[in-house]
Structure formats: structure tokens, C-alpha cells
């Protein structure tokens, strides 16, 4: 028997409540809820992808920013919707702009630039090209980094509100930022997100090193550790060539990264209060993600106050949605969420 949209919306959300469509697993939420005006064309834009580097300042700490879009900005032209990518614990912002020789498109920045977005990212404090300090670059520090980026975004784009997409600990950073700066967030995508992390196998294993994270601000992050991001949950869900390309991009920045987000995720969760995330939100995760459970994500999703919300579980995907063999599913669901039409009735 076919259920109506109202029946689907009003019934409790069970673990196997599925709306099969476009190869996606779980899609939850009322599509009749209040939605913003469309912010980018669903069509793919042609033209050369232009890029540029920028610097933000958080006090005395320089923070490297990177931008990609189709065509260089021109005076007097309408601005494009901004999509800001937020990286996680063990990699820099390079994860959003990976190029795999002969492996097809892996740069999510290039892909969304072609969708019509003005794509931005940054290296957080103690990562990549950004400044080095004695801190451990925890979630709160990452929120301050994002605050520092706002002046650059406003100056360069002329906009005051932006879409944010974070992966893994980057999703926690983005969610925590949306709590304190909801007026600067248009739509929020939390990819590979962790709410409380109860029963998540990766976090249970990670917690065995909790004493180390408490007493050290940096940890080892070698090539093998980078490989494990795409293999630890479900080998075969990412192409090895893509993982090696990520390692090649990351290793020039050294084999040490901060411990702050690991400490937060193993001893200080939750870092994001869903009741305070008032912006339209997409929670999207892989079927085999070891950093969270479906129950954990459902708990978070159920407390979001904005009716404009979705929860999507991607089949055949593990923790890294960006590096997944099935990454096109992630692109499709995210683009659909970011380009929602204006509702006729609210």
C-alpha cells in the first residue's frame, strides 16, 4: 500500500524507514516545511573553473582560505551562492579538491562549482598552510576559525549568508558554528556527523588513547593512518587510487595533526545541541560509517527545530562520503537539498 506524505511525516522514524529513490537510503523530513528560495541552478555550468587563495586572521593566527568557481568574479555581476567546506580531524581542506589521474571526478569543489556555487574552504589552525600554535585545535577553536573567515567571505562575495558543508569533525565544527552564528548560515550539510557517538565502533577504539589526547596536543598522522580513513569501516567502499591521491596531497604538511577534535569526540560529546541548530539542515552519512550509528543520527535529527530538515543514509558508503566510490549519491542528495524550490504554502 502506498503511504501519503502526511502519513510518512507523522509516523515515528524507524531504523528501516526508507523512501527508496535515486539510489539513496533514508530520506526523512517534511518537504512541505518552510524552504528558502533556490540558491543555485540545478543545471551544470560550463566554462573554466577559476581559483584563488586568501588569508583570514584569528587574532595573530593566519588562516589559509581557498576558493573555486566557474569564471573569475566580475564587477557588477550577480553573486553566486557560497558553499563553504569544513574539513575534519586528520586531513586538511585538500580532501575537498582531490584529483585522481584516470579515476574520474573527485574534487567536490569542482563538482559544485559546476553546479553554480562559489566554493570556499580553509585550513584550520595547525593544519595545512595555516598558522601553527601550541593549541590542540579543538571544536571550539574551529568555530573561531570559521568566524574569522566571515570577513573575507563578505568582502569577496558581497553576501552575508552562506551554505556550510562539513565532513566528520568538520561537520561538528560546522554544526557548532551554526549554533552561535545562525544569522550567517543559509543551509547546513552535516556529512559523516557524530552527535553523541554512543556505540560507534571507531570512537570506542579511539577512546583507548584518551589519556594520550589529554596530555598531548599533536598526534601521529602518517600515510597509513590516512589510508585507514577509507578502509577501517568497510574496505572496498573507496577506490585505493583516491585514498593514495589524498595521502599524496596531505603528506607535504607533515605527519602530525592536532588532537583536539579526537579529545572532544571521545570525552566531550555532544558538541552540538540540535535544539539550537535553527537553520535548514541535512544530516547525511554512509551506511557503514563507524563514527556514528543510525540511532545516534536519528536522535539528533528528531530534535532539530526547523521543519526544513533531511536525514539521508547513503548505501555502500563508509565514513568518507567525499572519497566514496558512490560519491555521486552524496553530490546528488546535497545538490538537491541546497537547491530546494520556494514553497507555495508554508
CA 84/CA 120 separation, integer angstroms: 5
Name the pTM for this structure. Answer: 0.88
C-beta separation of 290 from 201 below 8 A: yes
115 found inside a domain? yes
190 SS3 class: strand
Q: Give the containing element (helix H, strand E) for 63.
A: strand 61-70
Q: Angle at the Cα of 169 (from 165 to 173), degrees rounded to 5?
A: 60
Q: What is the mean pLDDT of residues 223-234?
A: 94
Please give the pLDDT value at position 343: 73
C-beta separation of 95 from 83 below 8 A: no
Average pLDDT, the chain: 89
Terminal Cα-to-Cα distance of the chain (whole angstroms): 28
147 found inside a domain? yes
- Residues near 280 by Cβ (< 8 Å), separated by ≥ 6? 35, 36, 186, 187, 188, 306, 308, 309, 337, 340
Closest CA to 296 of 192, 143, 157: 192
Question: Which has more pLDDT, 21 or 85?
Answer: 85
Q: What is the mean pLDDT of residues 38-52?
A: 75
214 found inside a domain? yes
Give the pLDDT confidence of 295-333 residue by residue, as tens digits: 999 999 999 999 999 999 999 999 999 999 999 999 999
Please give the pLDDT value at position 41: 53
344 found inside a domain? no
343 found inside a domain? no
CATH number of the domain within which 269 lies: 3.40.50.1820
Give the pLDDT confidence of 123-147 residue by residue, as tens digits: 999 999 999 999 999 999 999 999 9
Domain that holds residue 261: 5-338
Give the pLDDT band of residue 11 (cuts 50, 70, 90): very low
346 found inside a domain? no
Output phi, psi for 56, to 5 deg.
-105, 165
Q: How many domains in the chain? A: 1
Q: Fill in the DSSP letter of residue 116.
A: T
Interaxial angle between packed helices 139-157 and 260-267, expressed in degrees from 0 to 180 and rounded to the nearest 10: 120
- Residues near 88 by Cβ (< 8 Å), separated by ≥ 6? 95, 166, 167, 168, 169, 170, 171, 192, 261
64 found inside a domain? yes
Q: Fill in the DSSP letter of residue 253.
A: G
Q: Give the containing element (helix H, strand E) for 224.
A: helix 223-231
159 found inside a domain? yes
Output phi, psi for 163, to 5 deg.
-75, 140
Output phi, psi for 114, to 5 deg.
-70, -25
Amino acid at each position: 500500500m502506498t503511504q501519503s506524505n502526511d502519513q510518512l511525516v507523522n509516523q515515528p522514524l524507524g531504523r528501516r524507514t526508507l523512501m527508496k529513490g535515486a539510489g539513496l537510503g533514508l530520506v526523512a523530513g517534511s518537504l512541505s516545511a518552510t524552504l528558502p528560495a533556490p540558491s543555485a541552478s540545478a543545471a551544470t555550468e560550463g566554462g573554466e573553473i577559476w581559483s584563488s587563495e586568501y588569508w583570514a586572521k584569528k587574532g595573530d593566527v593566519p588562516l589559509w582560505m581557498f576558493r573555486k568557481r566557474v569564471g573569475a568574479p566580475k564587477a557588477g555581476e550577480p553573486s553566486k551562492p557560497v558553499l563553504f567546506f569544513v574539513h575534519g580531524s586528520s586531513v586538511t581542506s585538500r580532501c575537498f579538491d582531490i584529483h585522481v589521474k584516470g579515476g574520474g571526478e573527485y574534487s567536490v569543489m569542482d563538482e559544485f562549482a559546476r553546479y553554480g556555487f562559489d566554493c570556499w574552504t580553509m585550513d584550520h589552525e595547525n593544519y595545512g598552510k595555516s598558522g601553527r600554535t601550541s593549541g590542540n585545535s579543538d571544536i571550539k577553536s574551529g568555530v573561531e576559525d570559521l568566524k574569522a573567515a566571515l570577513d573575507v567571505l563578505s568582502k569577496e562575495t558581497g553576501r552575508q549568508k552562506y551554505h556550510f558543508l562539513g565532513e566528520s569533525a568538520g561537520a561538528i565544527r560546522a554544526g557548532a558554528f551554526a549554533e552561535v552564528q545562525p544569522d550567517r548560515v543559509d543551509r547546513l550539510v552535516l556529512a559523516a556527523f557524530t552527535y553523541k557517538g554512543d556505540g560507534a565502533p571507531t570512537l570506542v577504539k579511539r577512546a583507548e588513547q584518551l589519556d594520550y589526547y589529554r596530555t598531548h596536543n599533536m598526534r601521529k598522522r602518517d600515510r597509513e593512518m590516512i589510508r585507514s580513513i577509507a578502509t577501517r569501516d568497510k574496505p572496498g567502499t573507496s577506490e585505493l587510487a583516491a585514498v593514495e591521491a589524498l595521502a599524496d596531497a596531505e603528506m607535504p604538511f607533515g605527519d602530525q595533526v592536532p588532537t583536539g577534535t579526537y579529545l572532544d569526540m571521545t570525552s566531550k560529546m555532544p558538541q552540538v545541541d540540535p535544539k539550537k541548530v535553527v537553520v535548514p539542515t541535512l544530516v547525511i552519512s554512509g551506511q557503514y560509517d563507524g563514527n556514528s550509528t543510525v540511532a545516534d543520527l536519528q536522535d539528533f535529527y528528531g530534535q532539530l527545530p526547523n521543519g526544513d530538515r533531511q536525514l539521508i543514509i547513503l548505501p555502500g558508503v563508509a565514513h568518507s562520503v567525499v572519497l566514496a566510490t558512490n560519491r555521486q549519491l552524496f553530490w546528488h542528495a546535497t545538490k538537491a537539498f541546497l537547491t530546494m524550490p520556494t514553497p507555495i504554502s508554508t
